[in-house]
Structure 1
Amino acid sequence: MRVYQIDELTREDVEKVEARLVQKGWTGSIKGMYYVPIPEEFLGPEQREHLESCGPFFLPLETGDGWIRLELLVRARQILRCSCVAYANAAMREHMIDSLDVLVRELDIAV
């Protein structure tokens, strides 16, 4: 699995991130799992075609003991297996990683 991980965080730092993710409404059904929505302009052509049938699309973000991990596999809310479920393209990957970095900086977390 391809991921972007930030580790060596304190428990307080992870809790700050979790609180912000809950505030944004990105919670999942499993504790420590969040669904980060992908802006439509970063979706690939097939994902745009499948937006109504498979979407919305998101990247899973998981929190753990001293780390946060953003999976770079684009997932679909409506379906588990489809050709539109694929790894993030370069532009999407850069945007989503930058967005997570901004969130961490906004929370004044030193990494």
Structure 2
Amino acid sequence: MRAYTVDELSPEDVEKIEEALARKGWTGSIKGMYYIPVPDDRLGPEQREHAPSCGPFFLPLETGDGWVRLEMLVRSRQILRCSCVAYACRELREHMIDLVDGLIRELDIAV
């Protein structure tokens, strides 16, 4: 699995991140799982085409003991298997990594 991981975080830092993600409404059904929405303008051509039937799309972010991990597989909220479920393109990867890094900076977490 391709992923972006930030580790060596304190329990307090992970808690701050979890609270910020929850405030944004990105919580999942499993504790420690969050669904970061993919902006429509960052979707690939096939994902745009499949958006009415497969969307919305997200990247999963998981928190653990001292780490957060953003998976780079664009997933669908509607269907598990489809050709539109694919790894993020370079532009989307950069955008989502910047989003996570920006959140960490906003929370004043030293990494």
Could you state the TM-score of these two structures normalised by the residue count of structure 1? 0.99
Counterpart CA distance in 1 for 2:13 and 2:40 is: 30
Aligned to 1:99: 99
Q: Match for residue 51 of structure 2?
A: 51
What is the distance in 1 between the residues matched to 2:55 and 2:22?
Answer: 21
Partner of 1:24: 24
Q: Which runs of 5+ in 1 are unaligned?
A: none
Residue 73 of structure 1 is matched in structure 2 by 73
Shift of 1:84: 0.1
Q: Distance in 2 between matches of 1:27 and 1:99?
A: 16
RMSD: 0.3
1:69 is displaced (CA, Å) by 0.2
Percent of residue pairs bearing the same amino acid type: 75
Structure 2 unaligned regions, length at least 5: none
Partner of 1:85: 85
Find the counterpart in structure 2 of residue 13 from structure 1.
13
Where does structure 1 differ by over 4 angstroms across 4 or more consecutive aligned residues?
none
Number of aligned residue pairs = 111
1:64 alignment counterpart: 64
